[in-house]
Structure 1
Amino acid sequence: MAETDVADQQQTDAHARAVRVIADDAQAIAVAHELARRIAAGASERDRERRLPREEIEWFSQSGLWGITVPKAYGGAGVSFVTLTEVIKIVSAADPSLGQLPQNHFGLVDVIVLTGTEEQKRYFFAEILAGKRFGNGFSEKGTKNVLDLRTTVRRDGDDYVIDGTKFYSTGALFAHYVPVLGLDEERKAWLAYIPKGTAGLEVIDDWSGFGQRTTASGTVTLEDVRVPASHVLPAQRVSDEPTLNGPVSQIIQAAIDAGIAKAAIADTLEFVRTRARPWVDSGVDKAGDDPLTLREIGRLHIQLHAAEALLERAARVLDEFSAKGATTEDDVARASVAVGEAKVLTTEIALLAGEKLFELAGTQSTLNEHNFDRHWRNARTHTLHDPVRWKYHLVGNYYLNGVKPARHAWN
């Protein structure tokens, strides 16, 4: 039996086991901590060896955490955005590749909430609560920008037919459905939720990024892929109409970076306490008493706590507007700006913490056995998802000129 067949069979066997359905926010947080303890042990080795987390992702989805945003009316916990970001932060601190895997999944659940028919909601929410995972086929290489898509979607009777090639397809290799974004002849966007194993759909493990190594964010190819109309949703609506889908997608990205920062700082503290030496001119016996080290440790924590505070503030803004049931253009603008502010600080502390670890822990910390460079590699790779320099522009343009951010998945 081929290696991929073995992996598929293992995935099938794993899903034959019961999947927990999380009841509320408190349980979601408790389960996230439980899962984080379990996945943290092998995170460095998985990164070093680029060993895909096939078993670990089963633990993750069987924990019930992939279903926590399913609305209560459909049997889910319908957790708050404050809870969702905390869950992602907790898991990402243990292993940010695993923390990133459900990012698109949660955004796609939101698309179903916003645009799905009642029948589609009942079907897909039941699938999610049974442990099914969404990957993604959104972005493409070699186009003018991230919104310039070449993948086509055309109606053919009761089906849609999809053709194209995607990249940065995080989670697609482990997914039960690969939602693919494409344009029809009128350049309107559609999302086709394509079941794994559909003829013409191929997921290729060719991700070679130096960070987030085990996200399998590689290529998806589609050749005359047919999917029933019941599995296709009008993606255009989440940006044409004022919805929170963009800020929701972005706040999860920010939570991943906050988790990376927490992990890097935790490793810094442990190494400085147990292994690092004080500088010869410091006049102290322990690295932990070095006054300049203490200054930098203080700086890291202040910036981390500031980032976490803005992250929670942004989540509360999303919760406030989500509770209204219908959002206005002003609501979406305020939410995008609040999330943008948080994303600036989570990006900066993730990168700073990954770099400061070596400065404060010393040369010994660069030894291959520690694999501490994974923190900076993960931060640098993940924060390239969208340029934080444009968040400064977005925030400044809003406050100075009253310009509302463009509505798309990157705002």
Structure 2
Amino acid sequence: MLADIAGDYRLRLADGLTEPPLRGLKLVREQRLGAVRLAREHGGAGYTVPEFFDHLIALAAADPDLAHILRVHHALVEELQIRPRRPGSQRWIAVVAEGGLIGGANSEQSQKSIGGNNRDTRLVSTPDGLRLRGQKFCSTGAQFSDHLRITAQGDDGAPTAVVIPVDRAGVEHVDDWDGIGQRQTGSGTTIFHDVEVAAEEVFPLGATIGLDRSRGALMQLYLHAVAAGILRALAADAAALVRGRRRTYTFASVDQPTADPQLLQIVGEIDAVADTAQALVRSAAAELAPALDAARDTGIDPELEKRSSIAAARVKVALQEPALRAASRVFDVGGASAIQASALLDRHWRNLRTLFSHNPTVYKARVLGDVAVNGAELPESSFF
């Protein structure tokens, strides 16, 4: 199936990557790929955490847009299985088991600090029942999902969430995402115009990060796994570029590009970065596994949550610069033809830059340094 997804991506690439991965999404639903981390007793595949991240890297290598679209869904699959169970969890577990996708809308453009629990989107009580009012920015994958999990502020000021059908009256999906990368992820604005919400669709959030709410290491490491998949595809493209060259410069060291030691060195460097990225993600996944297992078995463990968040942050700090450099170096092995817009080789750098701009690396590096030097506590945020 990954071969089918990769084939569809190549077709979209040939057309300039102007269309979303609709074929891939159809395959994801048919093969119930959204249930790979759902426990077997709930009808899922029961992948271990390392198995899941290996799968994710391979999926991102085949189609980075598709892998990114599923990020919020997979995070919610974990949230649904945390003990103690949230009200309504079993209902949504059944949706996932049947192949349904639950996207999300969380980010907002406002004056409030990013990553906090204060939101402009409101879940309000009216004489006619609960209503959702607000606007979300960068709603990755939302328009391609079957249901949406939306974070909001309740009447009492406490953070809460709801899960509703994606096509409910009053839900507006605006195709206005204009990022430089990950362009076909459906990351546009979602507007909620007085949307009706049933009481059983309210999905309460825990109050304290790291205690009854996950720190979100899965969400962070997920992005790094997508980056690792992109680097795998980049390495393959770099090798193919050199193999496909039929001429070189008059002052090159050899006549055949495939025997040129300078070109081979660059391809080797890119290959090493790609392999290192996968190794880093796998190492952090091994750190994350006990935290996710504990959350399912006995509840969120603060110490395991902290370790997994630190591990995920280290991957980001270590990976960003080598990855972006590798994505730039690919042009040094392809000659002038590699910079043709139709080749779309710049997509690798643009996609990586877009992923790394989530939760800026400079802040994560500073926190890691504070932990190392001063034994500081981690930020109370699910964005770390």
Under a length normalisation based on structure 1, what TM-score does the superposition of the two structures give? 0.85
CA deviations on 1:344-371 (whole Å, 9 max, x unpaired) are 3443344223211112212111123322
Deviation at 1:117, TM superposition (A): 4.2
Matched, 1:83 2:56: no
Residues 252/290 of structure 1: CA separation in 2 closer, same or farther (3 Å cut)? same
- 2:68 maps to what in 1? 100
Aligned to 1:384: 357
RMSD: 2.4
What does residue range 294-309 of structure 1 map to in structure 2 within 5 Å? 294-309=264-279
Going by fraction, where is helix more abundant, 1 or 2?
A: 1
Q: Deviations over 1:296-315 (max 9, x none)?
A: 22222222222221210110
2:332 maps to which of 354, 359, 364? 359
Shift of 1:256: 0.7
Secondary structure in structure 2 of the residue aligned to 1:233: coil
Alignment CA distance shift 1:351-1:216 (3 Å): same
The 3 A distance-change label for structure 1 pair 41 and 327 is: same
Deviation track 1:206-238 (CA, whole Å, cap 9, x = no partner) reads 212231111111111112212122222222447
Pairing of 1:194-233 with structure 2 (within 5 A): 194-233=164-203
Q: How does 1:392-403 map to 2 (within 5 A)?
A: 392-403=365-376
Task: Write out the 4+ residue segments of structure 1 that deviate beyond 6 Å after TM superposition.
Answer: none
| C-alpha displacement of 1:175 | 1.3
CA contact (8 A) 2:73 2:102 kept: yes
Which of 28, 32, 40 is residue 9 of structure 2 equivalent to? 40
> Secondary structure in 1 aligned to 2:372?
helix
Q: Is the contact made by 1:260 and 1:350 (CA closer than 8 Å) also made in structure 2?
A: no
In the alignment, what sits opposite 1:292? 262
The residue identity in structure 1 corresponding to 2:233 is A
Aligned residue identity for 1:181? T
Q: Secondary structure at the match of 1:239?
A: coil
Given the superposition, is the C-alpha separation of residues 245 and 193 from structure 1 closer, same or farther in structure 2, using an over 3 Å criterion? farther
8 A contact 2:125–2:155 mirrored in 1 = no
What residue number does 1:8 align with? none
Contact 1:103 1:252 in 2 (8 A): yes
Residues 137, 169 of structure 1: 8 Å contact kept? yes
- Using a 3 Å threshold, how does the CA distance of structure 1 residues 233 and 254 change in structure 2: closer, same or farther? same
Q: Displacement of 1:161 after TM fit?
A: 2.1
Candidates 157, 160, 181, aligned match of 1:187: 157
Matched residues, number? 379
Q: Aligned partners of 2:166, 2:124: CA distance in 1, in Å?
A: 20
CA spacing shift, 1:107–1:315, aligned 2, 3 Å: same
CA distance in 1, matches of 2:82, 2:123: 20
Matched letter for residue 67 of structure 2 = G
Deviations 1:235-279 (A, max 9, x none): 244726265451011111111111111111211110012126445
Q: Give 1:332's match in structure 2, choosing from 305, 314, 318.
A: 305
- From 76, 96, 103, the equivalent of 1:135 is 103
Q: In 1, distance between residues paired with 2:137 and 2:70?
A: 17
- Paired with 1:45 and 1:187, the residues of 2 have a C-alpha distance of 49
Corresponding residue for residue 345 of structure 2: 372
Per-residue deviation, residues 42-81 of structure 1 (Å, max 9, x unmatched): 24146x2521222331112222211112223312123122
Who is 2:123 aligned against?
A: 153
Name structure 2 gaps, 5 residues minimum.
none
Contact 2:142 2:166 in 1 (8 A): no
The 2-side partners of 1:157 and 1:190 are apart by 20
Say yes or no: does 1:320 pair with 2:290. yes
Name the counterpart of 1:251.
221
Structure 1 CA distance for aligned equivalents of residues 31 and 84 of structure 2 = 26
Contact preservation (8 Å) 2:37, 2:45? yes
SS at match of 2:197: strand
Residues in 2 aligned to 1:389 and 1:118: alpha-carbon distance in whole angstroms: 35
Q: Give ranges in structure 1 of 5+ residues lacking alignment.
A: 1-30
Mean CA deviation greater in 262-271 or 359-368: 359-368
What is the aligned-residue identity percentage? 27
